[in-house]
Structure 1
Amino acid sequence: MRFPRPLRPGDTIGVTAPSSGVTAALRPRLDHNVAWLRERGYDVRVGECLGGDRVVSAPKEQRADELMAMLRDPEVRAIVPPWGGALGIDLLDQLDWREIGTFEPTWTVGFSDSCSWMLPLTTLLGWGTIHGVNLMDTAYEVPDGLAHWTEVATATEPVVQRSPGRFRTSGWDDYEADPTVESMTLDGAGGWTLVGGGGLDVSGRLVGGCIEIVSSLAATRFGDVAAFGREYADDGLIVFLEASEDDAHTIGRHLHTLRLAGWFDDATAILIGRTGAPDKPDLSQREAVLDALGMLDIPIVLDVECGHTQPSLPLVTGALAHLVVDPDRQEITQELV
């Protein structure tokens, strides 16, 4: 594994939208988050690929060129898209993966559709990336127990995070009405659930992402987690996955696809993010997970803060993680080794 060097004040953070851009009505929210980073001493470079009029921010060639330029530039130490989108997969045959492999690793930060190009940075090139937060979420105050993504990117020691026991039950803040909101509405109570109960104490390298996105990569070289698992079989894998919006039938099919593609062959545990994605009358999201993965005899932890329900637990793909879940502790420690 190759991890970017720790981020420091004075470093440059690049902002580009490899997938969806930002409408004019929501640009004040982007500007607020850029200002938040600048106030903490970072030089933020805002790219040209941010248009919000169509499903993607710019033609794929332009988006690929801008992302490549930021990855290539040694002054850019982190790249943070505003958010995900729908069609970031169209970049995969536009990026020069061979050339990227010669670069010094850069922190990339994002989730949702950003998994389409961030996962291959790990599986193909062995880069650590930060999953769990986007630029538009950056200014939020982080609840006790979790780390801000900038804390993860600047860390020189292992990062320990614990379930805060609180979450948002529905929806997102209205950034158009309040572009400067920084306090999350965490109106629900609950932590992680180990299927079957008891206790869990395991280690493994983290890998995963948004189920709807990474399942599209599973049959390609860009999402060959089975090969990644074989490479790090001595460590094992902790696979984290979360559903964005697909119903339980569709999520079940996606998870079966990942199982059949060997994603869990070397897994020591599976983390499933808390989700607001819809159930079906005959199948809940939880049941879809158990139907697809319950026969694997691998510990499954539900309701982890790693997806489309606030708050977010930044996870570094490729990091060596130590996971403890029991009645007294719900904790994950990440080491960049």
Structure 2
Amino acid sequence: MSPASSPDKDRVLRSAEILEGWGLNVDFGEHAFCKWAYLAGTDGERLADLNAAFRDPDVRAIFTTRGGKGSYRIADQVDFAAARRDPKLVIGFSDITALHLSLLKNCNQIGIHGAFSFGPKEESVSPYTSESLRRALMTTEDIVIDARPEEPTSGLTTSGAAKGRLIGGNLDLVATSAGWALPDLRGAILLLEAVNLYRGQVDRQMTMLRKAGHLDGLAGVAIGQFTDFEFDRPYSVIDILREHLAELGVPVLGGLPLGHGDSPASVFIGAVAELDARAGTLAIGRNDT
């Protein structure tokens, strides 16, 4: 499905070959490769594809071809009754965060924050990214994500541990969803990642979320990859995030390989997770999904 922007067809077909190699049968939404301005078809076309998949008993998982822009335009119009009758995983990240949050809020449906990731010059998906998604989708193994010291957001790690439902994703879409698609975050671990934003945008979004009370009662914060930022400049995005996160007074684990950076992992949105800042791990037990 393409509920947001139009994808690169060749890359999608390469991803389909990987899924078929796992033994899956792959089909495409009618408008998966359509283009309408910066979207993959009109709102009605993209929504029709998505709801058709939710209503089809033969469909067991919905892979989104890319993020970009546009899923937030239709995230409140999903056939939630169909999603409740026949739960199936939605796989994607970035703009797809709006769908994850709306499905979690309206029908308690868990999704997978992750996808195949082709960089601008990459012809294949990293083995780590591919295996992480396969394990999340097709095994009963627990998921343990190790923080990477080389990720700039690792500098945000504090101390302590927390347990709660992992909710969030792309910061831009978490902020966009506030007030209509964002679930109650009390007792949750908030996941945040971002790409190609100005420092002021990050500051505004964090300010809104915090001062509007959306971050009240958090159990902890998991920070993924903040990509395409200038980290070596004075008052960087790391400094901005540290200021806002300090106001929350909860354990923070940074440096997680979740987002738009190199070799991202996959993780369940809406499942109960355990964050251990000292060990540098974010873990989800299958009994909690």
Q: How far off is 1:71 after superposition? A: 1.0
1:209/1:313 Cα in 2 relative to 1: closer, same or farther (>3 Å)? Answer: same
2:103 to 106, 121, 129: 121
1:212/1:190 Cα in 2 relative to 1: closer, same or farther (>3 Å)? Answer: closer
Partner of 2:226: 275
Q: What residue identity is the alignment partner of 1:112?
A: S
2:206 to 246, 251, 255: 255
> Following the alignment from structure 1 to structure 2, what is the Cα–Cα distance between the partners of residues 65 and 18?
9
Partner of 1:173: none
Q: What residue identity is the alignment partner of 2:29?
A: G
Q: What residue identity is the alignment partner of 1:18?
A: P
> Following the alignment from structure 1 to structure 2, what is the Cα–Cα distance between the partners of residues 92 and 322?
28
Partner of 2:62: 79
> Following the alignment from structure 1 to structure 2, what is the Cα–Cα distance between the partners of residues 203 and 324?
9
> Following the alignment from structure 1 to structure 2, what is the Cα–Cα distance between the partners of residues 301 and 147?
23
2:161 is aligned with 1:201: yes
2:2 to 17, 27, 50: 17
Q: How does 1:100-119 map to 2 (within 5 A)?
A: 100-119=82-101
Which whole-Å deviations, capped at 9, do the CAs of 1:18-43 have from their partners, x for residues lacking one?
01112xxx322211111111122100
1:149 to 120, 124, 133: 133
> Following the alignment from structure 2 to structure 1, what is the Cα–Cα distance between the partners of residues 228 and 209?
19
1:314 to 262, 266, 274: 266
Q: How does 1:1-337 map to 2 (within 5 A)?
A: 16-22=1-7, 26-49=8-31, 50-52=33-35, 54-97=37-80, 99-134=81-116, 140-143=125-128, 148-163=132-147, 189-190=150-151, 193=154, 195=156, 197=158, 199-220=159-180, 222-226=181-185, 229=186, 236-279=187-230, 283-326=235-278, 329-336=279-286, 337=288
Moved more, 120-129 or 156-165: 156-165
Q: How far off is 1:219 after superposition? A: 2.1
Q: Is the 8 A contact 1:259 1:293 kept in 2?
A: no
1:21/1:333 Cα in 2 relative to 1: closer, same or farther (>3 Å)? Answer: same
Residue 296 of structure 1 aligns to a residue in which SS? coil
Q: What residue identity is the alignment partner of 1:193?
A: S
Q: How far off is 1:158 after superposition? A: 2.2
Partner of 1:186: none
Q: How far off is 1:60 after superposition? A: 0.8
Residue 227 of structure 2 aligns to a residue in which SS? coil
> Structure 1: which 5+ residue stretches go unaligned?
1-15, 166-188, 230-235
> Following the alignment from structure 2 to structure 1, what is the Cα–Cα distance between the partners of residues 166 and 213?
15
Residue 282 of structure 2 aligns to a residue in which SS? strand
Q: Is the 8 A contact 1:321 1:335 kept in 2?
A: yes
> Following the alignment from structure 2 to structure 1, what is the Cα–Cα distance between the partners of residues 147 and 124?
20
The count of aligned residue pairs is: 282
Identity of aligned residues (%): 23
Instruction: Give the TM-score normalised by the residue count of structure 1.
Output: 0.76
Q: What residue identity is the alignment partner of 1:332?
A: L
> Structure 2: which 5+ residue stretches go unaligned?
none
Partner of 1:9: none
Q: What residue identity is the alignment partner of 2:47?
A: A
> Following the alignment from structure 1 to structure 2, what is the Cα–Cα distance between the partners of residues 77 and 225?
28
Residue 176 of structure 2 aligns to a residue in which SS? coil
Structure number with the higher helix fraction is 2
Q: How far off is 1:55 after superposition? A: 0.7
Q: Is the 8 A contact 1:107 1:129 kept in 2?
A: yes
Q: How far off is 1:191 after superposition? A: 8.1
> Following the alignment from structure 1 to structure 2, what is the Cα–Cα distance between the partners of residues 153 and 307?
18
